[in-house]
Amino acid sequence: MTNSEFSNELPDKPASDDGPLNETASDNEPTDKWASTLNFKGRLRARLQLIGGALASIAAIGAIAGGLVGYWTVWKTLRTDVFPDKQQTQREAAARPDIAPRLSLVVLPFANLNHDPEQDYFADGITTDLTTDLAQMPGAFVIGRGTAFTYKNKQIDFRTLGKDLGIRWAVQGAVRRNGDHVRANVSLTDIASGRDVWSDRFDGDRTNLAALQDEITARLARSLNIELIQAESRRSEVDRSRNPDAMDFTMRGWAKLYGPQSKIQNDQAKDLFDSALRLDPDNLEAMVGKAQCLATGANNRWSASVVEDKKQALDLVDRVLSKNPASASAHRTKGAILLFGHPEEAMAEYDAALEIDPNNPAVYAAKTITLIVTGRAREAFSPLQLALRLSPRDPLAHLWRYWLCHAHLHLHQYGESIEECRRSVNLNNLYFYAYVDLTSAYGATGQLEQAQQSLTELNKLRPDFTVQWYRDLGYSISSNPQFRREFDDIVDGLRKGGAREH
């Protein structure tokens, strides 16, 4: 999930209940496709062969073997007998943030040695892909991209980095592109000593960039003494675009999605993915990217036709999942499509994404809001704590803090709600939803002076805000009876806090 899935901007109108998303799926696909998509465990398990010992001792890290070129493993099976709890490492790290997991690392943004800002997207794309690859290694704890990129173009003090992020290792690199030739220098740093324990140079061709990335990931895995499960490549042959220009457009599209979001930015990203698909109609990464743009436009009401765009987005991710059921990004994007209107189905997609990539902080965060809108606010805190442990400096931390605030407010835990919303405001004082919840919490507890202060800030950011509009928005998001009962109390708090009714 990128910054684009939840914008700071307010939808022009609440979501409509008119969109028959269930009917859309059933009209276009066989009735058993849902079960088939989620239940890919059996098909994939048959394709995996265990290499003895999934994790070896890290003590011998200095003795680095060479080779292992030509393939990389994606861990593609759900809840296997080998690793019955894929998220155990993440849960333990969140419970004991003072103890760094032994395979804990961050991939710092690769330097662009071309010294051309227009080429940053290329180095950033390699960094992002490498983060995703390493995040799927068994037992790994990988800091999220959002936090990693806050260190871009900055001097790094490794001991401070390790303390701030609770990790043991850092991956660094630099990329130079000369025509179709790509050279990457990569190193693995022991944070405790600040010394490189491994470094290497990789040369490849832009027409086969995925193979270069596979080689880097596999060599890093060996340097960490991780025995791999030999299966398909990280990206199967069907995933890999053979058109370098299509790959280039795709990387540019993702760079747009990871940036600050707006309708214009989202439209530009979608145009880039469309350009990639015109050159290579079977480019799965471009399909996922376009689907995400469509979902973002629909969820933020930037779309001219919400129902049609959601149908198109759903078709795109289903095409991807039919070819690669183990695409975490496709499951994540499908969750975003289904979240508002079909949150229970969205939850299943987020769970599937985390089984494949248990280090994705944005998916844990998305589970939080999904639990709230399904009437399960009491369960919403744990996923968000995992997200914040994985990406403590994430650009969306203000949003995540707001969701914690919102969960507390649903449970009438007003003191905790106020505390989290204050944290959200401190991170981003332009996110007006935090002021909505502050006004409600203060109103519900009779702190009318503070309620008026929050309401004043809310009206500055959204002069047309009304209680009726907010109620309609909440009811359009979910029809869950428990959610609506809790939401009614939040609306009542707004009234007590002095918010305008109409």
**404 & 255 share domain:** no
448 lies in some domain: yes
Last residue of a domain, which of 159, 193, 223?
Answer: 223
pLDDT at residue 86, rounded to an integer: 76
φ and ψ at 332, to 5 degrees?
Answer: -60, -45
Total domain count for the chain?
A: 3
Nearest-angstrom CA–CA distance, 418 and 428: 15
95 lies in some domain: yes
147 lies in some domain: yes
φ and ψ at 458, to 5 degrees?
Answer: -60, -45
What 3-state DSSP class applies to 223? helix
**189 & 297 share domain:** no
* First-to-final CA distance of the chain: 35
**66 & 121 share domain:** yes
Q: Report which of 341, 352, 295, 478 is spatially closest to residue 23, judged by C-alpha positions.
A: 341
**176 & 64 share domain:** yes
Last residue of a domain, which of 195, 223, 251?
Answer: 223
**200 & 313 share domain:** no
Nearest-angstrom CA–CA distance, 76 and 295: 25
Type of residue at 272: L
pLDDT at residue 337, rounded to an integer: 95
Q: Report which of 243, 112, 258, 81 is spatially closest to residue 174, judged by C-alpha positions.
A: 112
**355 & 383 share domain:** no
Q: Which residue range(s) make up the domain with 492?
A: 379-502
**203 & 315 share domain:** no
**309 & 186 share domain:** no
Below-50 pLDDT ranges, the chain:
1-4, 8-84, 227-237
pLDDT at residue 70, rounded to an integer: 30
Buried b (16+ CB within 10 A) or exposed e, 164-173: ebbbbbbbbb
Nearest-angstrom CA–CA distance, 251 and 108: 18
Q: Report which of 339, 345, 294, 336 is spatially closest to residue 477, judged by C-alpha positions.
A: 339
CATH number at residue 252: 1.25.40.10
370 lies in some domain: no
Nearest-angstrom CA–CA distance, 459 and 472: 18
* pTM, rounded to two decimals: 0.79
67 lies in some domain: yes
**21 & 60 share domain:** no
**288 & 392 share domain:** no
pLDDT at residue 489, rounded to an integer: 98
**141 & 258 share domain:** no
237 lies in some domain: no
367 lies in some domain: no
Last residue of a domain, which of 190, 223, 256?
Answer: 223
Nearest-angstrom CA–CA distance, 344 and 340: 10
What 3-state DSSP class applies to 224? coil
298 lies in some domain: yes
**Within the chain, what is the greatest distance between any pair of CA atoms?**
70
**151 & 80 share domain:** yes
Nearest-angstrom CA–CA distance, 212 and 182: 9
